[in-house]
Structure 1
Amino acid sequence: MMLFCLVLAVDAAPPVSSQEALGEVLFFDVNLSRARTQSCATCHDPAHAFADPRKGAADGAVSLGDGGRARGVRNTPTVTYAFLGPRFGKTADGGYAGGAFWDGRADTLEVQAGQPILNPVEMNMPDKASVVARLKENPAYVEAFEAVFGPDVFKGTERAFAALSSALAAYERSPAVSPFDSKYDRFLRGEYKMTLQEELGRVLFFSNQFTNCHLCHKLSASGGEGEPFTNHKFHNIGVPANPALGVPVDHGLMAGRKLKDRRRDGQFKVPTLRNVAVTAPYMHNGVFKDLRTTILFYNKYISHAPARQINPETGQAWAPPEVPGTLSVKELGAAPALDDRRIDALVAFLKTLTDKRYQGQVEQ
């Protein structure tokens, strides 16, 4: 990965010749935040699967913003493999799929890339004109933007900001962010042999009979090369509120897209499972700390055993859904209960979805 200069002094001259290379430099530039303390990489750390490893807010459930004065209300998702998502839109069954963010409020990756810069609890820039002014402070940026996007790129604020967003999205689409080199990818190419436990987990995961994983976390029939491990749709799976956040009820898709259809209340985008083993905590509000807990959470819908109705992280009964009444009952109940051996096998398989550069973090 090219890291050039992460803070970019005014007289820096990063050798960029493409949107992807320019986007990489921009991704690490703290000067794109109001107090010049935060870059995209602050919350999407490449050393931690492009998620946020910091524990400064609600034990890492959400991220701190520019200057450490504000915090978000949702867990920061990984950027890895985000490019696989389609444009936001309606599905054949009347639901929704695609877009970016937990609530799908951005139609495309380009739209998503620009929004955190302007978000008051993230990078906190007041408006697009201020962002473009920051870019123009740096002569090297002016030269690079004109070389990549044309000599008129700074003739209008909207055009310059769109170029910035396009460059960031180009980097997020690059192999540096999404290399497809996990154990699972190498298994598909015949370069890795699954352990017996991993193989059991793989069979269970893709089974149409023994688990319900495939209903939401599989796009292709076979789970073959390029599988995103999400169908990009939106569901309410009954995630409880995170008491550490102390925020109002999160209405997800309905609020993010300003929908009047209350059937969408509390729905969130199905996240990719790629790199899931190294991107804790889990769910849209970071309420679960352990990967095994998330599987037990799903299993509690289909198991009547008293022990399965206890959250192992709290020692108490699972808390009620933050938004009741709109749960994806069909998907949540479409499988038999799992014993510990099968739960552990699923965890082992999910760990094989970790990109090679992060494998050491899984084995710690």
Structure 2
Amino acid sequence: MLFAQQDTRADGPSIGSIEELGKALFFDANLSRNRTQSCSTCHAPEAGFTDPRNNGFDDPVSRAVSLGDDGTSIGDRNAPTASYARFSPKFHLREDGEYVGGQFWDGREADLEGQAGGPPLNPIEMGMASKEDVVARLQENADYVAAFKVYFGDSIFEDPQAAYGAMTKSIAAFERTDEFAPFDSRYDRYLKGEVKFTKQEELGRTLFFSDQFSNCNECHQLRQIPGAERETFTNYEFHNIGTPVHTAVRAANGSGERFADLGLLANTAVSSVEHAGKFRVPTLRNVAVTGPYMHNGVFKDLRTVVAFYNQYNTTAESAKINPETGRPWGRTQFPRTLSVEELTVGPALDDQRIDALVAFLKTLTDARYEHLLEGKR
């Protein structure tokens, strides 16, 4: 076994399992340089495991990207939800030449363990200088020391690399619990016959899973049978959907217009320029309560996202305008790698069908977050 699941000795640690240890670590702000930020800061349970904070900037930068432990740094990407992240396969290259899975928007970490080890050492996130410094912080907590020794061996702290790895394994174990993936949304209850959809929600469901009337399930359906239980609503592929540059964020973080987020190509395991500008398809679980949207947080409203996709299927002049700004959608930096085939499936959607799709997407909200939805039932 890689590690023990639970200590059953009478003199065991106060932290009773690997998962409990991971939970304590997930919420521990002492693992950041200034002791102000934890994993839960940017992946807050009460906000669908995304970042609910105002980062100190006005709209449209506020909440689009996260504020670091130093109180001033912001990045260029939106913090993705940690909900249902355990189901992403390890990052790999499929036989068809497409990359799939991993963690982060560019898949640069193969699994949850790798993802957990990134933020503590990121200078614009939790800001710790080294793994050794993180391990030293761990040893300040007597409960951690006792738990680490029981679950990973008495000599675990003799090797900082191993101790850091034990920390990431613990956090990953917590993230694999049902707290992150309860599958109890209105949609899941509908599949069990426990609730009925409204006419609008039912229309949205039909449109979503139809190859003839929308392109949603081209990327947001994993299981072969539409409506299968425990659907995660992502195929874990990487695509360039033409998301416009978030110019306000670029101005705020100083990266400027000339900076290009390479997406998948920024992953050191990827070298072909055909993958520039591609990002991992996110789960749609809890999508209605985890905005702002896209990898850079450029859109505030879920309906705007659906309208953005619709522009690829219509020649209407009105579809070329971002309803949030009243201006054209904005440029993408990698027009040559657009996933044109996937984006152009299906006919144009009228307002009624756009609204129906949004209504269906709201049904994917876990029960614990339903109170966050606008217009409570």
1:148 is displaced (CA, Å) by 2.2
Residue deviations 1:15-38, cap 9 Å, x none? 322111111110110000011010
Normalised by the length of structure 2, the TM-score is 0.91
- Other-structure match for 1:81: 84
The whole-number CA distance in structure 2 between the counterparts of 1:257 and 1:281 is 27
The whole-number CA distance in structure 1 between the counterparts of 2:82 and 2:349 is 31
Residue deviations 1:80-103, cap 9 Å, x none? 000010000012321100000001
Tell me, yes or no, if the aligned pair for 1:104 and 1:257 is still in contact at 8 Å: no
- Other-structure match for 1:169: 172
Question: What are the within-5 Å matches in structure 2 for residues 1-364 of structure 1?
Answer: 15-56=14-55, 57=57, 58-222=61-225, 223-246=227-250, 247=255, 248-257=259-268, 259-363=270-374
> Any idea what SS the aligned residue of 1:244 has?
helix
- Other-structure match for 2:4: none
- Other-structure match for 1:10: none
The whole-number CA distance in structure 2 between the counterparts of 1:26 and 1:85 is 22
1:257 is displaced (CA, Å) by 2.8
1:259 is displaced (CA, Å) by 2.8
In structure 1, stretches of 5+ residues that fail to align are: 1-12
Residue deviations 1:41-81, cap 9 Å, x none? 11111110000011215211100010312112100000000
Residue deviations 1:191-227, cap 9 Å, x none? 2211111111111101121111111000002241211
1:233 is displaced (CA, Å) by 0.4
The whole-number CA distance in structure 1 between the counterparts of 2:366 and 2:295 is 22
| AA at the equivalent of 1:241 | V
The whole-number CA distance in structure 2 between the counterparts of 1:260 and 1:143 is 44
The CA RMSD measured in Å over matched residues stands at 1.3
Tell me, yes or no, if the aligned pair for 1:34 and 1:124 is still in contact at 8 Å: yes
> Any idea what SS the aligned residue of 2:158 has?
coil
Residue deviations 1:223-279, cap 9 Å, x none? 412111000000000000001111311110001235321100100000000000011
The whole-number CA distance in structure 2 between the counterparts of 1:206 and 1:150 is 49
Residue deviations 1:99-124, cap 9 Å, x none? 00001100111101111111111101
The whole-number CA distance in structure 2 between the counterparts of 1:263 and 1:181 is 39
Tell me, yes or no, if the aligned pair for 2:13 and 2:146 is still in contact at 8 Å: no
In structure 2, stretches of 5+ residues that fail to align are: 1-11
| Number of residues of Structure 1 aligned to a counterpart in Structure 2 | 352
| AA at the equivalent of 1:54 | R
- Other-structure match for 1:7: none
The whole-number CA distance in structure 2 between the counterparts of 1:102 and 1:168 is 19
- Which 10-residue stretch deviates more, 251-260 or 195-204? 251-260
Tell me, yes or no, if the aligned pair for 1:62 and 1:71 is still in contact at 8 Å: yes
The whole-number CA distance in structure 2 between the counterparts of 1:262 and 1:70 is 29
Tell me, yes or no, if the aligned pair for 2:220 and 2:284 is still in contact at 8 Å: yes
Normalised by the length of structure 1, the TM-score is 0.94
1:14 is displaced (CA, Å) by 8.2
